[in-house]
Chains A and B, each alone.
Chain A
């Protein structure tokens, strides 16, 4: 990264910041997807449990994709 021009470096950092913010939002949704069905399940309603697990899994894979994106930017910045 030391050898990249300042604009490219700044753009890379901005992209990573955006990906991080997106992951944080997805995480908040996942927190809700965990807590609401848990509450329903403990009250006896097991209806929401499986759809919530499916969507939580989808969000997790979205997080993994964003993490790979961040790693790719990091890797491209290290090519000296």
Chain B
């Protein structure tokens, strides 16, 4: 009887070391492992139509810069940094009107600091996915992410959509954790208010 030994996937560290030393099959394995995540990130930071270009740019840069990757951060964090910058370059390259302000979606307060809205109004954003058509919500969500200021969008997408830790986002963006929290918080407030308005309630 022959024993079937399950193949053990090499970890990132091993693959990166082999790829950096010129093993192209290791680079191919890295592409295979991360292509879905990079595409999803790119489409959230730009659009479905721009994401393929961002994906290509990202892995070409990874290939070129792998020999200089020093392992100060996790490979995944380093890759997210490259992909985020590539997405930003694409956004800057395209002619676009300045982002319109989402400040109107911030929560409103009375003079004494209490919420101006009722509990039911304050909670309604939680039900946006139940109250809206799935395809409509998908399009609206992409539209509103695109309207976020660049700094908020990057932090929010990495932290809340790709689910990196605050420390990983800080490392990927080269900023302090406290700055990550400020930007993600601001984005959440705006998006929460936007979802409220989508289902017909002022934030």
Our verdict on whether A and B bind, yes or no, reads no
What is the interface of chain B, defined by CB distance below 8 A to chain A?
none
